[in-house]
Amino acid sequence: MEFVSCDPSNYRAGRTQPVRYIVMHYTANNGDTAKNNCDYYHRVGGLQASAHYFCDEHGAMQSVREGDTAWHCGARAYWHPECRNGNSIGIEMCSRKRADGSYYIKPETVANAAALAKDIMQRYGIDTEHVVRHYDVTGKRCPMPWVDAPAQWTAFLATLTPEHPNEEEEEPMTRYNKIDDVPAWARSDAQRLIDRGALRGNGRGELDLSPDMLRTLIVCQRMVDQAKDRQLCMD
């Protein structure tokens, strides 16, 4: 991701708290781009305002490092009990204006902001309860389209939530199809099972063994070996 450093007078270096929140904003401009905004905050000092990221329909750009404190949701009075500049990452979305003066955010911009937010959530362990609007922090009407139409905000949050949040992502199932695929610790026992005809595979020349199946077979094989050893001792 391209990084254009914000002027140092527009943010504070470092953080006093760990990152716990993501705050969503809109730029309240008509037809601006992520690059326009990053260049502006790089060029103009003394604004005492900033955001970590700017998103438009083409992607995202970074203006302030995540390890630094952007001034994006500060206020004299707060609605939110915890979220502040010091413990949050600010994402600005570029906007468009209709003929009637109302603002909207292009779907592509929203999608890029969602992808960025999900990446940040994963890296910091942030859940959707800690993704908020500027409005939720200070009462400012930002992002205006998501304040005036709360269903749009709800829909955005839904894109950040896994379809099955309590299920781990399934990984491709490991299969051992040849004796050389079998881990070294089990290979000799697996070969003995093949030689005895106890392990025949799937009939297509493949062992078709999952790790769980392999462990079960090896345990059973070793139990048989131990029983034979005990019988020999008794004889």
Taking only the tens of pLDDT, the chain with its 235 residues reads: 899 999 999 999 999 999 999 999 999 999 999 999 999 999 999 999 999 999 999 999 999 999 999 999 999 999 999 999 999 999 999 999 999 999 999 999 999 999 999 999 999 999 999 999 999 999 999 999 999 999 999 999 999 987 545 544 445 568 889 989 988 888 888 888 888 877 777 778 888 888 877 777 776 666 666 656 555 555 5
pLDDT value of position 161: 84
Torsion 111-117-123-127 (CA) sign? negative
pTM over 0.85: no
pLDDT value of position 167: 45
Helices (DSSP H) in 53-169: which residue ranges? Answer: 107-124, 134-138, 144-148, 150-160
Check: CB of residue 191 under 8 Å from CB of residue 221: no
Cα separation values, 166 from 13, 114, 120, 159, 169, Å? 37, 20, 20, 16, 10
Give dist(CA 215, CA 150) in Å, integer: 53
pLDDT value of position 170: 47
pLDDT value of position 172: 59
pLDDT value of position 168: 47
- All structural domains of the chain: 8-160 (3.40.80.10), 179-234 (no CATH)
pLDDT value of position 219: 66
pLDDT value of position 226: 65
Centroid of chain to Cα 186: 37
